[in-house]
Copies of this chain bind each other. A is one copy, B any other.
């Protein structure tokens, strides 16, 4: 934890998390007001000939002008590219539009991209950065909780295809990640809650301390208290940074642990339509399903499952499929086409205690998966 230079705002503490990679390491900085310092960070991280802000129509009026001013202050030329908000922008068409707007505005091999927005913008801008001119640097400036604790870190980029989410993408590590928790004040409540699902995930898989913190401080968190949020984001980023550092390209199995809740989650999201179930909401349901599978396999205790389900409920995350009319067959088919699937067999990350989960070495029987997905139909108290 370090103090910012100017000390102009009341809350000027900057928390730093380092992501250590074989080839190149980078810093995640977390602090109120950091959005006004993006220019300095971009200049220090990659000193680009031009910085291209990629953002969406929702985020642009809120923060793009501040980022642009900070780029001006750092003496950097810049251009802003605006995409449509929402998962539909994780498409080949949106990607091609970003490529061509970059190229039409003088993007060269010394240019850099500033991804300003949520997970969609980060994934799309990251993929564009990794492929335009065979790769230019990207600085992630996430403005949703989901992006701040998860998607902006770790270098996964992606777009969706008709067969499922994130089926096309790259590994492309950011040069820096700049997180301003104050940006969450403009986030719709539902999206804040959805982001908390990834926080709970980080706690369950690797940090009982984080899980405890969210349990103890759920109310201030839901009321967007910036001090508590900064601590929650820092602990979440530490989990992610550690896992990513040990398995950058998702090959050793260590990184797969981040997929806790995502196997069923992705299938539910795709089956429901990406707009009806937010990613975090789907992950919350996926964690409940994975926990129930772990219970059935005798890997973890009913008390732990109960504790996790109760916390998700307090955070206002879905406990069951509610009004969503999903066909089990469709969900199972989508599971089988998940990119973690190998030769049609479905592997799960399963929890063993609050603070520890691991990729289960054997594929899980699809009949058991189907049974557990079925329990999500039952309305909880």
Contacts and interface: CB of A to CB of B under 8 A. Distances in A.
Given A49-B343, A108-B339, A133-B168, 14 more contacts: A49-B342, A92-B95, A92-B96, A100-B161, A103-B164, A103-B167, A103-B337, A110-B343, A131-B170, A132-B167, A133-B339, A134-B156, A134-B158, A134-B169
A135 B171 contact: yes
B132 A170 contact: no
Nearest to A128: B168
A162 B100 contact: yes
Contacts of A131: 127, 131, 168-170
A99 interface: yes
Interface in A93-137: 95-96, 99-100, 103-104, 106, 108-110, 127, 130-135
5 contacts: A96-B161, A99-B161, A109-B340, A127-B131, A134-B169
A250 B49 CA distance: 18
A6 B128 CA distance: 47
A108 B171 contact: no
Interface residues of A, number: 39
Of all A-B residue pairs in the complex, the 4 with the closest CB atoms, nearest first, are A103-B163, A133-B339, A92-B96, A134-B169
B171 A341 contact: no
Contacts of A250: 134
Contacts of A103: 161, 163-164, 167, 337
Interface string A152-180: 00001010011110011111000000000
B133 A167 contact: yes
A339 to B, nearest CB: 4
A344 B110 CA distance: 11
A258 B343 CA distance: 40
A342 B106 CA distance: 9
Contacts of A104: 163
Nearest to A157: B134
Given A109-B340, A339-B109, A132 B168 contact: yes
Contacts of A339: 108-109, 133-134
Nearest to A345: B108
Nearest to A103: B163
Interface string A331-372: 000000101111110000000000000000000000000000
Contacts of A342: 49, 108-110
Interface in A232-274: 249-250
